Structure 1
Amino acid sequence: MSGRRGGNRIRGPQSALTDFLAANNISAAQIRDDYERRQRQAEVDEAGNGEGPSNQAPDQDNDEALAAAAQDEEDEKPSKKRKRNEKDAIEKIKKSKATKKGKKGKKGDPDGDDDYNDDLGMYKKSKPLPGQFEHCDICNKRFTVTPYSKEGPDGGLLCTPCGKELAKDNKKSQAAAKKAAGTGKKRRKIESDRLDGMATGGAKSLVQMCIEKVARHHDDIEELGELPQSVLERLGEIFSKKRVMKPKTLPLFLRPDLDSVVVHDAAYLEVEDYNQIFAVVPKMRKLVLGNACQMKDGAIDYMIEKCGELRHIQLYAANLVTEDRWQKLFREAGSKLEVVKLKWLDAAFEDDVVHDMVKYCPNLERVKLKLCRRLGEDAVRYLSDLPELKHLSLQINREVSTDALVNLVEKRGSGLQTLSLEKFIDADDSVLQAIHDNCNRLSKLRVSENDTVTNAGYTSLFTDWQNPPLTFVDVNSTRDVDNSNPDGPEEAIGMASSGFKALMAHSGSALKHLDLASCRHIERSAFFDVFNGGETYPALEYINLSFCNRADTSVVAGIFRSCPALKRLVAFGCFDVQDVVVPRNVALIGVPRAQEAIEQFGFGLGVDEAISRMVEVGA
């Protein structure tokens, strides 16, 4: 049927004039109507002037001028009428928009111009259809319109050559914009790495560049080959940070000859993926799974069955594992376990599970239990029965009495090498006294977020302490919290001047990491006595003075003099630290001046030259 209809259409030859009229949407009816309108108007004008064919003026020039004026007037009248009609339509549109403005259920801005512009589109000339002729908006050449004809800058269509040139220009502008955006992103990435302590001055190593290249093209990699364990773990850290550790990329980090599997972000892994880990790497001795939110009882059973040499377990947020499976894990695999680190466990890990862990894991040397919501004082008492305990890190949400902590330190303190007690708010000076009396092998000590221990307790701890110098000390947020008395009590709570001096006198020679954040009772004079340029601390690499409001530019200059190995100095909230010139290989983070970067990196000056420039600026 359609074929016959198509065959019945008879078309004759078309002239150039016909094509031109069709391209410009000019029809014979339009030409006829325009001619008749002009003719009628001319007759009306002649009748109004009382002139007929026999009364024409003899002056030919005047006749031509009158004819031209009449023609112009005729041409202007339709244009004026059209503009007047458009103006009336615009007014109607505005009125209708105003009436709809208060109606509910409309999304977006009621004063927006989108609908207004759409309504005006009805008065625009329609674009030629494919197959019609049009003049190029740029070169004005006549061409045949196709479905792929591009739109020009003024709204018209473009011929093929001009369209290609416009596409090239647009591509160049987009590439330039993308490059500019990439530059800013790269700069922010560098600053972020410096804040994380992962970037220093100078060129990157070849290994680092290769690792970054692999991480960037992770979708195209089928296997990593025989990479060393350290490089593989570094790649795993980058994959986890970029959130690309998924079932597709997980096999890259699994080999039967490996003795450890480290996945810091396992949020995308499911039960089958955990079973794959234990099936492919049955000889593993170390397992680290962060954000293990999909790990269930079946995965624990499979791990117990396949991995008989497990020594190190580190699981974060494994909240789908029931209490029975935790107990089964410690009963059947506990005899070989040496390290247990558990964090962010919710309702299925209670004090009874800790009791089973202590009972069936006699060889545990390192225990970390942080933010496990159901643990309390009984768990602390059970931990005091671990005979081989050397490293202990605790952060328990429930209230724990001072007696339980003192009992723990008295029983296990002699063997401890690291001790971390976070957010034990009610722990008092007796805990520090127990540490002083029983701990003589510590290299790391953290007592943070406490508002009970006094400065006298810290002074007593570090005075005549029979313990080697510490390498890591964290006493952040040890201060009195009372909004009605911002200066604190007369006897300072937390680390204050005398305690700080005693700490540096005891451990300054070996100290590498010092965190004094929010220890606001340390006076400026104490900082000057410790960091005076005469005393040096050769191993100190990291110092955090955030919100120690007595620290100023002079204190920072003294730190630069006294700490030749310093790499990072954090000073958030120290508003008297200004106009600092940072020596080379040192990162100063948190200087609060708005016109400076939040992180300033040394640019080649030595300590003496940097300090001399600071003196010049201060003068």
Structure 2
Amino acid sequence: MSNRRTGGNRIRGPHSALTDFLAANNISAAQIRDDYTRRRQQTEGEDAQNETADADADAAQARDDEDAAAAAQIAAEEEAAEKTRKRKRKEQDTVAAIKKSKEAAKKKAKKGRKGKGSDDSDEDYDNDEFTRDMYKKARPPPGQLENCEICNKRFTVTAYSKTGPEGGLVCTACGKELAADEKAEKKKPKGPQGRKRRKVESDRLDGFITHGAKSLQHLCIQKVAEHHQEIEELGDLPPTVMERLSQIFTKKRVLDPRTLKLFLRPDLNTIAVHDCAKLDEDDLKQVFAVIPNVENVILAHAHAFKDDVMQYMMEKATHLKHLHLYTANLVTDDVWLKFFQERGPQLEVLKLKDLDSSFDDEAFQAMVSNCQSLQRLKLKSCRRMGASSIQGLASLPAGTLRHLSLHTTQEVPPGVLVSLIQHHGPHLETLSLERFVDADDSVLATIHEHARHLRKLRFSDNDLVTDAAYASLFASWANPPLHTIDLSSTRDIDNNNPTGPEDSPVGLASAGFTALMAHSGPALRHLDVASCRHISHAAFAAAFDPADIKCRYPELRSVNISFCNTVDTGIVAGIFRCAPRLEKVVAFGCFKIEDVSVPRGITLIGVPRAQDAIERVGEGIWGGKGGMEVLEPAGGLMGFPSVEVGA
């Protein structure tokens, strides 16, 4: 054991031939590893130097290739441009040669036909556009390269590439510019006045019609409304101009707390805000704080007009005489009672509309008891107003109330209306009864018997009163001729029999219309018989017969004959000739009106099939002055075009 430990505990065994050879030649493994490491490091250094040299050579070669490619591209573009110029010159020379040969052939043919009276024109070949199309270059297929006609930029042709002015293709950027120019060209207003057609149609349907140039006042009002954000105050404008500005601001929906201040002046006695939708309670209170002496208050769409505002108005507006409120639904009945008790005795005009949840019979009775000085009363779409409320109107003084307008949604027996008309009828100048569906012939008989000073009569939306009652109303009526008549939508409603009963027509029909025109025709200004579909063609023709010298309506301004199916072109032409002061004719749904000549100064609204042959007629038809001038067909609003014809 000791001998083993002294030997270093080394294991000895047999040697291979390679081991013996390496030991005999004094070669060790460490020497082999060192030699290998040295050679590898040397090789890596040489490879790095070679790679650097190769990279420099490649970069130089790439620059040379790029310069060569650019030069080749420039040369190719120049060659293509030169080819294009040569092609165009060749085409021009060819076209010139063809023209020259044609002219020579024509001269030769002319000499051959001389003295024969033949025509010298040659329409089959004398066409420059046809010649250009023959030699026009074909459009290159998509994917090919082409030079832009405008900027000469190289681009790839696609299926959406646009054609330039000279017939060539243009790049995307130039194509967008061309499209923008075409769009701007289409947007240019047509006509001598240059007004937008939609704006004109909107003004007509709103009842604002102008012929010829606009007045300076109207232009200033439009400019003020257009730049309302930059205006600090309106100054001392008259009330009529302020009213018109308020209407325009309402239409443009720009009446807000900032613009409201433009209409508030301490020296005013009238405030008219036709759109209070963007105003809150504080804004409405500000109206009465700034204008302490206000007498006339007109607030439409006053959704924020609540009890607090009403009480504030009672405190500040001590001179209130005229109150016009629309959609003030949040005022409670108790506050209405208090208002009529405090301010009712001084009220002269009261107009309430669209009251859904307030103003019941008790408030109505408070109004009748306290408002004994009312001269004008208008209650429209007050849903809680029933028969008892209307019956209470008989308690108002008989000689004070002059204008009465009622529109109800509840059932009202005919006897209630009869007693009301008997009480107030002899002194009324305006009587408007809308949507009294239960009214019968007795109501018109009472009007005929008691009304003696009426100037305006409206009795619409009824399907019970017969045509005989209308004829009896106007026959031998002691009332003077009416200025305004509205009998619209008085007809029989039966889908199985749309023409109505033949023996006794329901609603305004031929006999009633004839009696109406005979009674009120000389003084009539506004006539509305829309949807009175039982009036015959013969009745219209007899009323508007231009051959009858007695058939003249010198005061007639507007006529509404919409949805009267028997009205045709001849009837409308007769209306034009029988009313020398006529301004507007509304004829929606009259599809028999086709080719009509509209006199100068008259507006025809709602005739979609008459636009293909609309003419503006001067005084030549009647007086020999002027003549006819054909106008372009006018577009319309919501599918119903209208035509304004005037100087």
Equivalent residue number for residue 473 of structure 2: 461
Further displaced range: 174-183 or 328-337: 174-183
Residues 293 and 318 in structure 2, CA contact (< 8 A), matched pair in contact too: yes
Q: 1:273: Cα distance to partner?
A: 0.3
1:94-125 CA-partner distances (Å, limit 9, x unpaired): xxxxxxxxxxxxxxxxxxxxxxxxxxxxxxxx
Residues 514 and 542 in structure 1, CA contact (< 8 A), matched pair in contact too: yes
Equivalent residue number for residue 560 of structure 1: 576
CA distance in 1, matches of 2:357, 2:307: 15
Runs of 4+ in 1 over 6 A off after TM superposition: 17-22, 138-141, 151-154, 165-173
The one-letter code sitting in structure 2 at the alignment partner of 1:501 is T
TM (norm. structure 1) is: 0.70
The one-letter code sitting in structure 1 at the alignment partner of 2:433 is L
Partner residue of 1:424 out of 412, 422, 436? 436
SS at match of 1:241: helix
Residues 460 and 488 in structure 2, CA contact (< 8 A), matched pair in contact too: yes
The equivalences for 1:72-87 within 5 A come to none
SS at match of 1:342: strand
Q: 1:307: Cα distance to partner?
A: 0.6
Equivalent residue number for residue 551 of structure 1: 567
* Alignment CA distance shift 1:336-1:186 (3 Å): same
Equivalent residue number for residue 520 of structure 1: 533
Q: 1:587: Cα distance to partner?
A: 1.3
The one-letter code sitting in structure 1 at the alignment partner of 2:396 is L
Residues 585 and 602 in structure 1, CA contact (< 8 A), matched pair in contact too: no
1:530 and 2:543 equivalent? yes
SS at match of 1:593: helix
Partner residue of 2:408 out of 385, 390, 396? 396
1:146-167 CA-partner distances (Å, limit 9, x unpaired): xxxxx9999xxxxxxxxxx999
Q: 1:200: Cα distance to partner?
A: 2.5
CA distance in 1, matches of 2:297, 2:612: 43
1:274-302 CA-partner distances (Å, limit 9, x unpaired): 01101001111100011001111111111
Residues 519 and 548 in structure 1, CA contact (< 8 A), matched pair in contact too: yes
Residues 390 and 417 in structure 1, CA contact (< 8 A), matched pair in contact too: yes
TM (norm. structure 2) is: 0.67
Structure 1 unmatched ranges of 5 or more: 1-14, 27-137, 142-150, 155-164, 615-619
Residues 596 and 610 in structure 2, CA contact (< 8 A), matched pair in contact too: no
Partner residue of 2:276 out of 259, 266, 272? 266
Equivalent residue number for residue 600 of structure 2: 584
Partner residue of 1:542 out of 550, 555, 558? 558
The one-letter code sitting in structure 2 at the alignment partner of 1:409 is I
CA distance in 1, matches of 2:552, 2:472: 23
The one-letter code sitting in structure 1 at the alignment partner of 2:472 is S
1:604 and 2:614 equivalent? no
Q: 1:375: Cα distance to partner?
A: 1.1
Residues 270 and 294 in structure 1, CA contact (< 8 A), matched pair in contact too: yes
Q: 1:197: Cα distance to partner?
A: 3.0
Partner residue of 1:485 out of 497, 508, 521? 497
Partner residue of 2:217 out of 199, 207, 222? 207
Residues 587 and 601 in structure 1, CA contact (< 8 A), matched pair in contact too: no
The equivalences for 1:495-514 within 5 A come to 495-514=508-527
Equivalent residue number for residue 299 of structure 2: 289
Partner residue of 1:227 out of 228, 232, 237? 237
Structure 2 unmatched ranges of 5 or more: 1-55, 67-150, 159-170, 630-647
1:400-433 CA-partner distances (Å, limit 9, x unpaired): 0001000100011111110000010110110011
Q: Please tell me the root mean square deviation across aligned C-alpha atoms, in Å.
A: 3.2
CA distance in 2, matches of 1:425, 1:462: 21
The one-letter code sitting in structure 2 at the alignment partner of 1:290 is A
CA distance in 1, matches of 2:60, 2:341: 93
Residues 584 and 601 in structure 1, CA contact (< 8 A), matched pair in contact too: no
Identical counterparts, % of pairs = 50
The one-letter code sitting in structure 2 at the alignment partner of 1:585 is G
Q: 1:362: Cα distance to partner?
A: 0.6
CA distance in 1, matches of 2:387, 2:181: 62
Q: 1:319: Cα distance to partner?
A: 1.0
Residues 588 and 601 in structure 1, CA contact (< 8 A), matched pair in contact too: no
1:417-472 CA-partner distances (Å, limit 9, x unpaired): 10000010110110011111111010000000100111111111111111111000
Residues 560 and 607 in structure 1, CA contact (< 8 A), matched pair in contact too: no
Equivalent residue number for residue 244 of structure 1: 254
